[in-house]
Every structure is written in structure tokens, then in C-alpha cells.
Amino acid sequence: MDRRQQKTRDAIFDAFGMLLTEKSFSKITVQEIIDAANVGRTTFYAHFPTKDDLLREMCAEIFDHVFSDAPRAENTHDFSANGRDTTTAVTHVLYHLRDSRKNILGILSSESGDLLLTFFRQYLNKSLAMRMLDGVRPADSVPMDFLVNHISGSFISMVQWWVENGLRETPEEMARYFMSVTDPILSVGNM
């Protein structure tokens, strides 16, 4: 990719991320973005047809980065019975979220957080579905994709709670909370 393209893309992402911590997505104007990013109006529209596309692409980039080097659970069956692999994976993702240079949690706690969490949830559903399919059996004739959706939702809820409470807990603590509400579910039908 042309260095110029990458440069303006980064500049727009940085400016947009900063603005998102200050005000809600819907109240941010294209003018503000291009002023903060110091790029021309035409340049912006050359990169992103709409503001929605900008958000979508930035989310994809963030989540790809957050999950790219997360330790994959080697033993997928370890998803239950207080799987150590799962705990460390969750912890790792939480550290990433908290310490990201892009101030992800700042964005999540803003008025636009829900919008971002929607993408997050879709992302989780997809990647969880692949991991869980062979490791866990549905319990009590509860559909598998219901379970997957429930686990993704639980993760999102946890992050929301964590952010809204001022990140007082360590990622390790949060991972333990998470396991304590998801492990009993997954253990039931899985032996």
C-alpha cells in the first residue's frame, strides 16, 4: 500500500479514536475528523464513503490486532472444567483491551461504545463458534448457537461492567469472574 495512503489512514483513525472518547459517534462531523487528522475533505471521502465505513474498518482493525496474538487454546476440550487455556486466553484479551495504545476502553465507555460492542459481539460469535463446535456438547437440548451467543454476550457484558466500574479489577480477576459464570454452563453437557 502506498505510504501516503497508510499515513492518512492512520491519521484519520487516530483522530477518530480521539474524538470518540470525547463525544458520541453521531455527533462527530466529518469536518472535525479531517481537521483533527489534518487531511483534505476529498481525501477523507476517497478512503471512506461514509462515517459508518470508517467505524466499521477501524473496529475490524482493532479486533484483528487484539485477537491476533491471543494464545489459542490447544486443547479445545479445555473450554470446560475451569479450563486453564481459556482463562489465560481471556486474560490476554483483557490486557490487550486495557493497555491498547488506541485507548479502546476509552472508546467503549463513550456514548458510542454500544456500536463498537455490536461489532465485537459479531466477531466473537464467529470465532467462538469455530472453537467450541468440537469441544462442547449442548446441554439439555439447548441449541449450540444459542450457547455460543450466550458466551459471547457474557464476555461483552463483562467488559461493559468492567469499563463502567472504572477498571478497578485486574484482568486476572475479571477472567476468574468470567469463568465462574460461564464454566458451570459449559460443564453440564460435556464429559
Partner DNA sequence: TCGATATAGAACATAATGTTCTGTAAATAT
Partner DNA sequence: ATATTTACAGAACATTATGTTCTATATCGA
- Binding site residues, DNA, CB under 7 A: 2-5, 7-9, 29-31, 38-43, 45-47, 49-51
Which option in DNA, its own copies, none does residue 50 bind, with CB closer than 5 to 8 A by kind?
A: DNA
Q: Is 167 in the site for its own copies (CB under 8 A)?
A: no
Of 46, 60, 81, 139, the one binding its own copies by CB under 8 A: 139
- Give dist(CA 34, CA 13) in Å, integer: 10
Q: Pick out residues in 8-37 that bind its own copies (CB under 8 A).
A: 26
Closer Cβ to DNA, 1 or 191, answer by number: 1
73: left (phi over 0), alpha (psi -120 to 50) or beta: beta
**Given the rule CB under 8 A, which of 39-47, 60-68, 79-87, 112-120 is the region that contacts its own copies?**
112-120
Instruction: Kindly write down the DSSP assignment for every residue of 70-120, as one continuous string.
Output: SPPPSSGGGGSSS-HHHHHHHHHHHHHHHH-TT-HHHHHTSTTHHHHHHHH
Closest by CA to 150, choosing from 133, 128, 172, is: 128
Contact 105, 163 (CB under 8 A): yes
Q: Which stretch binds its own copies (CB under 8 A): 4-12, 30-38, 126-134, 183-191?
A: 183-191
82 binds its own copies (CB under 8 A): no
